């Protein structure tokens, strides 16, 4: 199923989170903004995974690199960005508390069992300020999202692909 040893590159940028829970939706908002601002090379798929679980498995088929974009709990100020290379994705996500990350653990466990687990999994995220009912991102997370987009583009460049910035349409 997976193409770990084939040398063929397929990169999935997966935004996860709940848009109805304030800063929890930063991953989804970031990938939507990435797709709005940049034209992706054909080997890059940008996916709004929302709070999906097992439904994400087909997107991993043949994936060589998985970049997961999400809100990340941790030490630091709200709006700070983080990058974590993940050696054992199913185990890493089992220790998380949000429902979509538990679903993601199941997806990655199933991918490992079916030999579809990507050779490289990286988590990129922003520390949230508020995870409560609401449609808006907090001010620090909105500012951090700009840095997150830069990190995503840098990560893609490190994988040998370069998103092309779209030319803004004039009114």
pLDDT at 105: 77
Which has more confidence, 28 or 88?
Answer: 28
Question: Cβ contacts of residue 67 below 8 Å, gap of 6+?
Answer: 11, 12, 13, 14, 122, 124, 152, 155, 156
Q: What is the mean pLDDT of residues 27-49?
A: 95
Q: List, in order of start, the domains of the chain with CATH numbers.
A: 11-159 (3.40.50.1450)
* Contact assessment for residue 103 and residue 51, using Cβ atoms and an 8 Å cutoff: yes
> Is the pTM of the predicted complex or chain greater than 0.75?
yes
* Res 89: pLDDT: 67
Res. 97: pLDDT tops 70: no
Report which secondary-structure segment, H or E, holds 48: strand 44-50
- For the residues 76-100, what does the mean pLDDT come to? 73
Token pair 């490992």 is found at 112
| pLDDT tens, residue by residue, 5-20 | 445 689 999 999 999 9
């Amino acid at each position: 199923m997976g193409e770990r040893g084939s040398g063929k590159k397929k990169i999935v940028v997966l935004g996860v989170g709940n848009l109805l829970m304030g800063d929890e939706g930063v991953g989804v908002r970031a990938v939507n903004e990435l797709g709005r601002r940049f034209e992706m090379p054909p080997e890059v798929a940008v996916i709004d995974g929302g709070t999906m679980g097992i439904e994400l498995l087909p997107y991993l088929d043949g994936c060589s690199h998985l970049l997961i974009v999400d809100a990340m709990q941790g030490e630091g100020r709200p709006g700070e960005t983080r990058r974590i290379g993940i050696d054992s994705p199913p185990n890493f996500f089992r220790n998380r508390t949000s429902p979509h990350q538990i679903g993601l653990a199941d997806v990655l466990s199933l991918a490992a069992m079916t030999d579809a687990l990507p050779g490289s999994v990286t988590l990129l995220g922003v520390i949230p300020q508020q995870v409560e009912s609401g449609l808006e991102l907090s001010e620090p997370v909105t500012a951090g999202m700009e840095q997150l987009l830069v990190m995503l583009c840098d990560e893609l460049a490190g994988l040998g692909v370069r998103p092309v910035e779209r030319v803004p349409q004039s009114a």
